[in-house]
Amino acid sequence: MQRMTALFSAALLATGLMAGTAHAQQADGQAQDPMATQQAPTQDFSDQQLQQFADASQEIAVISQEYTQRLQEAEDEATQQEVRAEANDRMIEVVEDSGLDVDTFNAIGQSIQQDPEMMQRVQEMANQS
């Protein structure tokens, strides 16, 4: 159980790379209230979407670990930016290959952080994969 939570945590942290650009555009130069995201109402997602999220999250966790190591080994800012961009592209590809779009993936990620029952469902789906 802790292993799955760690995987989802890694995947959710990794999605921060994908979400960063979208959030920056939404903020329109204004400081964004971090509590606004945390207090967003949970949405209803289909079992298929949750399964797609579970599958993609596991792959993203692996990518995140791989690129975290590469990022730590990067010698300068330019190399770090290249590593981040490559990781971001791979994670977006995994999400889209799963059948979800990035916004839906991120919305599910936010929802499972707020809804322990949904988190449990997704963990069970991941365990069955």
Alpha-carbon gap, residue 62 to 46, rounded angstroms: 25
The pLDDT of residue 35: 41
2-27 and 77-97 helices, crossing angle to 10°: 110
Asked if the structure places residue 95 within a domain, the reply is yes
CA–CA separation, 63 and 93 (whole Å) = 11
Mean pLDDT in residue range 30-41:
44
Which pTM was predicted?
0.70
pLDDT in tens, 63-106: 999 999 999 999 999 999 999 999 999 999 999 999 999 999 99
pLDDT in tens, 7-27: 555 555 555 544 443 433 334
pLDDT score at 43: 74
Asked whether residue 64 is assigned to any structural domain, the reply reads yes
- Record the tokens describing residue 35, joined without a space: 């509590």
124 lies in some domain: yes
For residue 54, is it within any domain?
yes
Tell me, yes or no, whether 61 lies in a domain: yes
Res. 1 pLDDT band, cuts 50 70 90: very low
Specify if 55 maps to a domain.
yes
Statement: residue 39 has pLDDT above 80: no
Q: What total number of domains does the chain contain?
A: 1
Report pLDDT for 106: 93
At 8 the pLDDT is 57
Instruction: Give the pLDDT band (50/70/90) at residue 115.
Output: very high
Residue range(s) defining the domain that contains residue 98 = 1-10+48-129
